[in-house]
Amino acid sequence: MTEGPTRDAIAAAARQQFMAAGYAATSVRGVAAAAGIDPSLVIRHFGSKEQLFLETVEVDGPFAPALEGPFEGMGERLVALVLEDRMAGVLRTPYRAMIRASDSAPVRERLVAAMEATLARPLAARLTGPDAELRAHLVAAQVGGLLEALVILEDPVVLAADPAAVAALYGHALSTLLTPGPG
């Protein structure tokens, strides 16, 4: 096996294990076994378990479609996007893996940077009025809160709720931050 395919095999095994079991439950030995290689090769290619995690688990906040269009209904669009079944593997599972590993400063920084780049910054660029940047970050915090309820707490009430009702209620809360308040 050449170096590229070995690295790719390690990355694929690591990604699968981190997503399924989380950071703490994934071991370098387990990743190596799944990739069919010696554990020393994992360290040779990635340096550490933390670096392996950072290079294989990405939170690509796919928020752009919800941020397009008018502000009216944007909160509901954001919530509906998070709740979509197709977002489980794209957003919710990587978010769960990142949150569970967020006691690591580099992982926490990666998660914050992802929310900044994919949600807060693009939203702040569109907002007007006072405190636009703060309001954008508060919207990102509320989206993070919903993700936490879904994938970390696995809140049975939220999970069992009609997605349209959640989008309407939680989306309304987000929408209050999209328009400048008095002041």
> For the domain bounded by 3-56, which CATH number is listed?
1.10.10.60
Dump the DSSP string for 59-121. -----HHHHSS-STTHHHHHHHHHH-TTHIIIIIHHHHHHHHTTTSHHHHHHHHHHHIIIIIH
Whole-number Å distance between alpha carbons of 159 and 15 = 25
CATH class of residue range 64-178: mainly alpha
Span(s) in the chain for CATH 1.10.357.10: 64-178
For tokens 């387990």, name the residue.
Answer: 30
Residue 15, pLDDT score = 87
Confidence (pTM): 0.78
Residue 136, pLDDT score = 96
Q: Are 10 and 46 in contact (CB under 8 A)?
A: yes
Over the chain (183 residues), what is each successive 10-residue block's mean pLDDT?
73 87 87 92 90 80 87 94 81 82 86 89 94 95 93 93 96 91 60
